[in-house]
Amino acid sequence: MKNFEFRNPTKIIFGKGTEKEVGKECARYAKKVLLHYGAGSVIRSGLLDKVKKSLEEAQVEYVELGGVKPNPRISLVREAIELCKKEEVGFILAVGGGSVIDSAKAAAMGIKYDGDVWDLYAKKAEPVGAVGVGVVLTIPAAGSESSNSSVLSNEEEGLKRSCDSDDIYPKFSILNPEITYTMPRYQIACGCVDIMAHIMERYFTQTPNNGVSDRMAEALLKNMIHFAPKALAEPENYDYRAEIMWNGTLAHNNLINCGRQADWASHPIEHELSAEYDMAHGGGLAIIYPAFMKYVYRQRLPQFIRFATEVWGVEYDRDDAEATAYEGIVRLEAFFRSLGLPTRLEDAGIEADDAKLHFLAKRCDRNELGKVGHFVELETEDVEAIYHLAKKEG
């Protein structure tokens, strides 16, 4: 086990009707907030009105900025920063999913930073603090409601990059599973894959002797495998949606990577897809993860045997350990398909030629070692090979 520090200060307020608490919670931090949201769904569902009413009852003033798109854009973040400065707003309330929260976190850091906020994502500068962020979550997927990270797209440069800072853990996050009832089926499925990916990014590690985190990650994966199909079959079953929502938060609140070096290969490999084709991140992960696993599993057999036997209940074949490991990957891929998601680029309607895949592999974001991922340290040619495995059946 590696040395670690863990502190997650986000207050989770979970359950039916909890959105009514939002005004009271905001009032602890500011007299005036920026109300940040995405498209019309929070308006149509009546959620935004409920939030405004709660703010008004708590005598919290607000200015509004909607229009956050999936794969949130730096341009709108710059607008949010200007607005907050002009209106002297000291707190940002994100009402939405990961994109809205990440946009809010970016603005929260940008307010405190003198240069252009993209510098923090391009790793040209370190964050220098942030105003507080609060969350009313509408989509269980990104885990941003209790994380210290934010992912942003720069539409001019065609880049999607992340920024981590302990300053951007939300002060509070309100999670009411009822709010997720109206999510489209495809979005629920994408969210489930994103949640499972957040667990797997941490599960696959080279760090030995890390039983607590291994077993907790397995518990969270098994819970998703149990409840994701049920939530899709009965979208208005409160308990199923509650399982997905709470599981999604725990997948990404940094608890299960305590004491280990997480991987983070598949996320940057996928980010190139969603930056290039503006596809749903979870949809891209359903394509990339099986391909990534097929590419690396022979180099890390013990971890993949454990994944197959513990998470998927595969019987260990004493005559063919490699087949045991591979069966876990087959089951994961079949599971993603059973959720209604494509697991190949061509199924998602993406026709990328060799030159394009080479370009994406080259552009893919590197970690501090100059590699993609830690579990297996990937070079450009490895990432390119993974894209090729993801291309089509066979």
Q: Which residues bind a second copy (CB under 8 A)?
A: 1-18, 208-209, 211-212, 215-216, 218-220, 222-223, 226-227, 238-239, 242-243, 246-247, 250, 255, 258-259
Q: Taking the CB of residue 381, how many other CB atoms lie within 10 A of it? A: 11
- For a second copy, the closer CB: 16 or 185: 16
- For a second copy, the closer CB: 10 or 41: 10
Rounded CA-CA distance 52/93 in Å is 11
Minimum distance from residue 139 beta carbon to a second copy (Å): 18
Q: Taking the CB of residue 56, how many other CB atoms lie within 10 A of it? A: 12
Minimum distance from residue 239 beta carbon to a second copy (Å): 4
* Pairing mode of beta strands 132-137, 149-154: unpaired
The H-or-E segment that residue 261 falls in is: none
- For a second copy, the closer CB: 15 or 66: 15
Minimum distance from residue 212 beta carbon to a second copy (Å): 5
Contacts of 199 (CB under 8 A, 6+ apart): 217, 220, 221, 224, 251, 256
- For a second copy, the closer CB: 1 or 334: 1
Minimum distance from residue 387 beta carbon to a second copy (Å): 34
CB half-sphere exposure, 382, CA atoms < 13 A: 17
- Partners of 32 in the beta sheet? 61
Minimum distance from residue 29 beta carbon to a second copy (Å): 14
Rounded CA-CA distance 238/234 in Å is 9
- For a second copy, the closer CB: 224 or 352: 224
- For a second copy, the closer CB: 7 or 318: 7
Minimum distance from residue 146 beta carbon to a second copy (Å): 9
Judge contact between 326 and 297, C-beta under 8 A: yes
Distance of CA 244 to the CA centre of its chain: 14
Minimum distance from residue 92 beta carbon to a second copy (Å): 19
Contacts of 219 (CB under 8 A, 6+ apart): none
- For a second copy, the closer CB: 125 or 219: 219
